[in-house]
A and B are shown apart, each in its own frame.
Chain A
Amino acid sequence: MAADDHFAYIFAAELHERLRWFITLRWMAVAGLAVGSLVGPRMGLESVWPSLFVVALFVAAYNLYFSWRLGGRSGQERPLGGLRHCAIRQMVMDLAALIVGVHFTGGLQSPLLPFFAFHMAIGTIVLSTRLMYLIAGCTSLAMLLLYILEENGVLRYHPLDPLHGICSRACYLNMVSFVMALFGIVYLTDSVTGRFKERNIKLHEAKAALQERTEELQQLLDEIAEVEERKSHYMRISAHQLRSPLGTVKTSLMVLTQGYVDPGSERGRKLLEGAIERVDGLLRIVNDLLELAKIREGRNRAPWARGVNLNQLVADIFDAVSPLADEREIRLVPLVEGVAVLDWGIPPDLVFALENLVQNAIKYSLPGGQVTVGLRVTGGGEAVLTVEDQGIGIPEEFVEQVMDEFVRAPNAKAHAAEGTGLGLSIVREVVEAHGGRITVRSVEGEGSTFTVTLPLHHRPPEVEALLHDGNDGGYQTPTGS
């Protein structure tokens, strides 16, 4: 296992917390060393003053440094690598201080020796086992070197018991058991904690995966909530649009039934006819709402057909709307370049959408005006349909929302009373179902241009799914050409 993996079990926040705890423990060590340096001479250990005190100052100094390095930011904000280096540095400094302390307190007889064991155990928990074997080896070599230098008189030996000199041969055994203890503790600690480390790693991985899934779910929930919100808003707007004419109808009927107006009188007839007119409007809104819902759900629609010829479609629409254009004294002008054939399309929907646009153009034109219907094919494989009129136009503040449900500009209402405000919404749905987009340019009083761009080679998901199953039997071959 790579060292990095081995480290992985202890994570930044946890490691940071432990390192801070070590700093607290180290202040106790500083206190212990200082007290030892003061008390030692009274007990016959002349060598510990001031040497042990200097060691205490040294430990205090680097503890302050590490405390400063670790302070402030929390563990999560720190890179794990940096914390790990900090842990190794603390370990090396501690062991160095211990070796110096050991030198002044009797070498291999030193009462400080058990603290090596303490460091090996903690180190194996916090750092990687391989690194700890390396540290145990280095510590052993350092102790051996110290022992050799002391024995050969290069370094002065400070005996624990001044009455006795350097412990002769028996100390070789101490050296051996010291080295064995260091390695043994690393090994034992590792064998005890290894399994926990692995479990810890797995737990952490599971936690991370869970966190990721939770975030995905949360995002999904947010999206659903947003859709719900939009739906509910749409429902409220729709209900209001129905409620307004219903209010008028009910008021009129109450006035008639409660005897304020005689139903047979001229006024009575006007109220009744007005009520019928409102009910007709309500029916139109309800039908358009149903139409919109059907397109949105993609259900109960005419089937997708192959090879839909838009030129033919435009010609058919011209035939269909020319009586209306004649009636309103509007000139219809075709402007067709090339032949546009969609790979896939729903002909009745496309007819509905384009007819709606052309009808609107006629409806909001002034007598004597001109409506131009353009069709061309771009090099990028798109059919571009334009419907341009010289009519009343759309006020600037309504241009962007004119295709939203129930949006009708005041000049449109004044010009043509009927209209549900849903036609353009349906057109947009149809265009988008065909993978296309619709834009509008308009200047109030000058006219509007609606531009529908349809990709020729769009393959709708419904067709994709069926073709994938090798079953396209339900689809018609080219229509209208």
Chain B
Amino acid sequence: MPNPKLTRACAALALSLVAGTALAAEKKLTIGVADALTGGGAVYGLPQANAVKMAAEEINAAGGIKVGADNYKLDVIAYDDKANPTEATNAVRKLIDRDGVKYILGFCCSGSTSAVASFIGNEKAVMLVGNAAERSITTKKIPNLVRTRPPADYTGQAAGTFIARKGQKRIAVLGALDVGFYAQYVDSVERELKKAGGEIIAREVFSLKDRDMTPQLTKIRGLNPDAILVVGYVEPAAFVYRQAVELGMKIPRYGFTSGSEEQFLRVTTSEQMEGVWDLRPTELTLLSASKNGVAYHANYTKKFNASPSPSSPYAYDQVYALKAAIEAAGTVDNTEAVAKALRNLPVPSQVVMQYQPVDGKMFDSNGQAYTSNGAFQWQKGQWVFVEDLPSDSKAYSQFLSTLN
């Protein structure tokens, strides 16, 4: 005959365990993504949105985000902002006002991101910016905004030193120079070139939708530069590389584009790309990736049946940074506490990019993270990491703090 007291005690224990588990398992945290899922910016935005979804699934599979006694499973809502400021504003308003989202990730492109950054400071929400490289996004001291990608001029400085070291003096630039951060990158390159006695002899422009670059390239060819520097989105940049070869230009080609092999090969052939340099943050390239990077590449490829773009881990890392910050803050509701925790966060162990922490923290006081910069070269069908470009994140962070 079982002891009735023991039976009751066991039943109570079992009930409390079941109830506890049920409560922890049922909690859901919805995070939003505002990014370019279609249009010209989609080469960056779509892989970012995919990366957020993948990170969320990984976190959920590993038990979710622990906040006190609760476990939160992540649910992702993604809206297409088409890299357009108005669409981005609408997407974020919809996420905050209609869907009740407090954490918004993604943000590949500077124009749309700047539009959202202009009002996010007034919202009880946290904005995590990915690939958008316009410097001013993190100079406005917005307390609830952080960015995983370093600003363009931080990379431009390192790129200028690299080009000067290669001995090229007369550089022709062709790029999306009406986009602020590309112009900032070129200005930084020019400053470094001048220090070494070099100069930029032409600044030719293309727009996001341009595909015929032969007029600009013909003009550049007539100036006999030592090298060309191409700054812009992957697709127009790929056309520049292809058409430069078609026009018989055999000078070194440098770029700042962050496109994957797959993205370039949709437009050019590997032969037309051979020897092209990409001077950019040390983003995901399989040959230089960390253990996390290799796993990320494999998982992403398996899940989406396409290689991840080099910049996509900026968004993947946002999710893990957010997880760590929520766990550190011990709340999902108090966005101010989470934003503060982000600013004090050491680099989480799960991130893919190789961050250079400032004073041991992933984000500096401006909310800006820094990765190392690298020189990548197209060799026989793939981007090969050739060398690190010396970059001083602490010095740049101090400089960034002086700007408004």
Do A and B truly interact? no
